[in-house]
Amino acid sequence: MDMQLSGRVAVVTGASKGIGLAVVRTLLDEGVRVVATSRKPTPDLDALAGPNLRHVPVDLMDPDAPAQIIATAVAEFGALDILVNNAGGPPPGVTLPRTSFLDAGDEEWRDVFEFNLFSVVRTIRAALPHLIERGGGSIVNISSVNARQPSSMNVDYGAAKAALTNMAKVVAVEFGSQGVRVNTVSPGPVRTAWWTDEGGVADIIAERAGSDRDTVMDSLVPEMMGLVTGRLVDPQEVADAVVLLASPRSAGTTGADLAVDGGYLKAV
């Protein structure tokens, strides 16, 4: 299927690995010119280097970073058509998971909201004038199933993502008449570095459960979370949903929240 994306310009945050890297790779394959942002590049992102890719090293905890990213995209490629707000998860210096509401104080809550909500608000605010000038475009925000399924694990993260999902629907309504579509993709547990790195979530759970990293990811977590597919989600599966929503093929879809979660969410 032709996604009708060739020649368009996209910004992807959190682009150096995992879901963000898969989104960048897929957009490039569709002929999109991409500004990819992360605190630093990775060998996997560097391997995608070419005339259609520009990496901007920024820290989204800096309130000025979003405007810098959007300005770079317009300066480099002349326009903006697509914004993928993928950056999220634990802010720099924060280790997740937390297992109780009492595990995080005010500063931890502020940092999680700064990274997972306020940086997205600022990036959308910076992007909207350019999308409107272009006659419309697509914003896709990466949220989480924790936005829809409250949990005592990482409660601050889940609350920030719930706010993100709510905000996206509001922006979709306000700017839909100007051609701007806003949708959300909510992944379940995805096999990314957050799980697989040494000292990552899989190791933390394995230590508490008296197990090992591979068992945690291959069977313990899928069973514990009731994943219908019996496995963690692959980053490419999330990227495919993102690119479909970014495409004019989804012109009739806005204000939606698409779960790519292995069947974790079961409520109607």
Four-CA torsion 15, 97, 108, 161, nearest 10 degrees: 60
Secondary structure (3-state) at 233:
strand
Q: Is 157 a catalytic residue?
A: yes
How far apart are the C-alpha atoms of 226 and 215, rounded to whole Å? 15
Pair 197, 23: CB distance under 8 Å? no
| Residue 75 CB neighbours (<10 A) | 10
Tokens standing for residue 148 = 């829809």
Residue carrying structure tokens 């009739």:
252
Tokens standing for residue 82 = 């697509």
How far apart are the C-alpha atoms of 230 and 173, rounded to whole Å? 36
Find the farthest-apart pair of alpha carbons in the chain and give their distance in angstroms, rounded: 56
Tokens standing for residue 57 = 């090293």
How far apart are the C-alpha atoms of 226 and 52, rounded to whole Å? 40
Q: Of 77, 113, 115, 157, which is the active-site residue?
A: 157
Residue 105 burial (10 A CB sphere; 0-12, 13-18, 19+)? exposed
Annotated catalytic sites, by residue?
157
